[in-house]
Structure 1
Amino acid sequence: MDFKPLSGLIDRLTSWRIPWAEVVVVHRNETVFRYRSGYVDLEEKIPIDDGRILNIYSMTKILTCTAALRLVEQGKMLLNDPLSAYLPEFAEMTVRKTLPDGGVEIDRAKRAIRVRDLFAMTAGFSYDIGSPSLREAVERTQGKVPTREFAKALAKEPLLFEPGTRWAYSLCHDVLGALVEAVDGRKFGDYVREEITGPLGMNDTGFDLTDEQRGRLAPQYEYDDVLGKPVRKDVNGFRLGSEFESGGAGLLSTVSDYVRFLNTLTNRGTSPDGVRILSPASVDLMRTDHLTEAMRADYGWEQLAGYGYGLGVRTHVSKAASGSLSPLGEFGWSGAAGCLAIIDPESQLTVMYAQHMLNNQEPYVHPRVRNTVYGCL
């Protein structure tokens, strides 16, 4: 293995638009390459160092779906169950429909939201975190918005389409966190800590930080195309309230912590030291393509050409379409500030790429990182 091309790519990215970047490559449970470059604090010219905590945003989704799949394994719920069996507020949903003349009408939904629709992004929700019902919940709870209150508020909003008929990237996995609370009885964050992050030794991963951890939180940037440079933007705009544990975008973690979780999935659910968080059957179900042909047209991001969508993850289904050097069945997801997870059971390969910049240049960065990793093996 020669990883000089990968370190060269990281250096090019950090001399371009990305303030800092780090990549870890784990092969057969051994870290075979780790490299970081750039400044964690551009203003103070502080180089990126070990132990920095960052917002992983939508890479939270992989862990949320893992948490919920554990409950499926235990027979506490089924993918085909109606969501309303556990969250009654979703029993009678409405759908916003556009009329031929351009007008809009709200009709009662003909199909029930199923548990599987939360995993697969087919429930019909949007990603509008500023919708009227959610704004009202922020005011009513005095800025707290507990996870279950979030779900109750979202249930008041009309769906974009009949559940199970189309695909839309949305707040599905935030509702999935609320579903875990309803089925298990613990707060979502407590469940995650006691069932997944704690057993795996991920002590720097959670929805809230201690004072010590807050001191290690990496500054966050957003690339400003007008100014032609990154500017500080430290807020996580997806955290609607102080008690909202967002299953879609709320986790904070370190590279060392999260690659441990990802590598457990590469091992089909059991960590190298024997901690089992999922069965191999569940991992295979997670990375099975769940898109129908009707849904595939909705799943059109350029960096995901050749990929289907499983239970909370992209999954590689066509080398011809993707141009990716990874094998079929490689899976993972990414985050709003630019993190990328590559989980590959066949190659026994785990990769975590990290950066902390919104407007993250994902269509350019992520396919190049993936192909360069596989080119180095």
Structure 2
Amino acid sequence: MDFKPLASFIDRITSWRIPWAEVMVIHQNNTVFHYRNGYANLEENTPITDGAIFNLYSMTKIMTCVAALQLVERGHMLLSDPVSDYMPEFAEMNVKKIMPNGEVRLEKATRAITVRDLFTMTAGFSYDVGAPSIKEAVQSTDGKLPTREFAKAIAKEPLLFEPGTHWNYSMCHDVLGALIEVVSGRRFGTYLQEEITGPLGMNDTVFDLNDEQQSRLIPQYAYNDELEKAIRMDGNGFRVGSELESGGAGLLSTVRDYALFLNALTGRGTSPEGVRILSQASVELMRTDHLNEMTRPDYSWDHMGGYGYGLGVRTHISKSESGSLSPHGEFGWSGAAGCMAIIDPDSGLTVMYAQHLLNSQEPYIQRRLRNVVYSCL
């Protein structure tokens, strides 16, 4: 293995517009490459160092889906169950219909939202965290908006389509986090700590940082094209309540810490130390393409060409369409500030890539990064 091309790629993007980047490559449970470059703090020219804490954003979704799959495999719920069996507020939903004359009408949904719809982004929700019902819930809870109340607020908003008929990237996994609370009887963050992060020895993957961790939280930036430089932009816009543990975008972590979780999935649900967070059968179900003839046309992001959508993850289904050097079944997801996971059980390969730049250049970086990694093996 020669990872000089991967180091060169990291050097290239950090001399471009990415303030810093870090990548860890684990092959057959051995860390074969770990490299970082750039500045954690551009104003003070502070180099990126080990243990830096950053926002995972949507890479939180992978852990949320694993947690929910644990409850499925333990018999607490089925993918086919109506969500309203556990959360009654989702029993009678309205669907927003736009008439030929442009008039907007609300009609009763004829399909029930299922647990599967939450996993597969087919419930009909939007990603509007500023929706009227959510704003109202923030006010009524004095800015706390606990996870369960967030889901109740989402249920008050009209659906964009009949559940199961389209794919739309949305707050499905935030509702899934609330469902985990209801079914398990534990606060979502507590469930993750007791069932996943604690057993795997992940001490830095949390919704709320302690004082020591706060000191390692590094600045977040957004690239300004007019000024031709990255401008500091801290905070997580998806966390609209102080007590909201967002299953869609709320976790913070480090490269080393989250790699422990990803590598357990590469091990088909079991870590090298023998800690099992999921069965092999559940991992296979997770990375199976769940798109169908109705939903596939909606999953049309250019950089996802050749990939299907599993239970909360992209999954590689066509090399000819993707142009990717990874094998079929390679899966993972990414986050709004640019972090990305590559999970490949068949090759025994785990890649944890991180950066902290909103408008992350994901379509440019991530496809190239994946090909460079595989070329180095």
The TM-score normalised by the length of structure 2 is: 1.00
Question: Structure 2 CA distance, aligned partners of 1:368 and 1:184?
Answer: 40
Name the structure 1 match of 2:353: 353
Question: Structure 1 CA distance, aligned partners of 2:283 and 2:313?
Answer: 11
User: Which residue type is aligned with residue 346 of structure 2?
Assistant: E
The Cα of 1:217 is off from its aligned counterpart by: 0.2
- Check if 1:202 corresponds to 2:202: yes
Partner of 2:62, secondary structure, is helix
Name the structure 2 match of 1:33: 33
Name the structure 2 match of 1:337: 337
- Check if 1:43 corresponds to 2:43: yes
Name the structure 1 match of 2:216: 216
User: CA deviation digits over 1:273-314, x for unaligned, max 9?
Assistant: 010000000000000000012211111111110000000000
Name the structure 2 match of 1:286: 286
Question: Structure 2 CA distance, aligned partners of 1:293 and 1:359?
Answer: 31
User: CA deviation digits over 1:324-368, x for unaligned, max 9?
Assistant: 000000000000000000000000000011000000000000000
The Cα of 1:210 is off from its aligned counterpart by: 0.2
Question: Structure 2 CA distance, aligned partners of 1:294 and 1:17?
Answer: 38
Name the structure 1 match of 2:133: 133
Name the structure 2 match of 1:228: 228
User: Which residue type is aligned with residue 332 of structure 1?
Assistant: G
Name the structure 1 match of 2:159: 159
Name the structure 2 match of 1:269: 269
Structure 1: stretches of 5+ with no match in the other structure:
none
Moved over 2 A (4+): none
User: Which residue type is aligned with residue 259 of structure 1?
Assistant: A
The Cα of 1:102 is off from its aligned counterpart by: 1.5
Name the structure 1 match of 2:310: 310
Name the structure 2 match of 1:147: 147
Partner of 1:269, secondary structure, is coil
Name the structure 2 match of 1:54: 54
Question: Structure 2 CA distance, aligned partners of 1:184 and 1:86?
Answer: 11
User: CA deviation digits over 1:74-132, x for unaligned, max 9?
Assistant: 00000000000000000000000111112111100000000000000000000000000
Partner of 2:343, secondary structure, is strand
User: Which residue type is aligned with residue 149 of structure 1?
Assistant: E
Partner of 1:297, secondary structure, is helix
Structure 2: stretches of 5+ with no match in the other structure:
none
Partner of 1:294, secondary structure, is coil
Name the structure 2 match of 1:244: 244
The Cα of 1:245 is off from its aligned counterpart by: 0.2
The Cα of 1:140 is off from its aligned counterpart by: 0.3
Question: Structure 2 CA distance, aligned partners of 1:134 and 1:2?
Answer: 50
Name the structure 1 match of 2:122: 122
User: Which residue type is aligned with residue 32 of structure 1?
Assistant: V
Alignment of 1:94-109 (within 5 A): 94-109=94-109
Name the structure 2 match of 1:23: 23
Backbone CA RMSD of aligned residues: 0.5
The TM-score normalised by the length of structure 1 is: 1.00
The Cα of 1:228 is off from its aligned counterpart by: 1.4
The Cα of 1:38 is off from its aligned counterpart by: 0.3
User: CA deviation digits over 1:41-97, x for unaligned, max 9?
Assistant: 000000000001000000000000000000001000000000000000000000001
Question: Structure 1 CA distance, aligned partners of 2:227 and 2:103?
Answer: 39
Partner of 1:223, secondary structure, is strand
User: CA deviation digits over 1:129-185, x for unaligned, max 9?
Assistant: 000000000000000000000011110000000000100000000000000000000
Name the structure 2 match of 1:191: 191
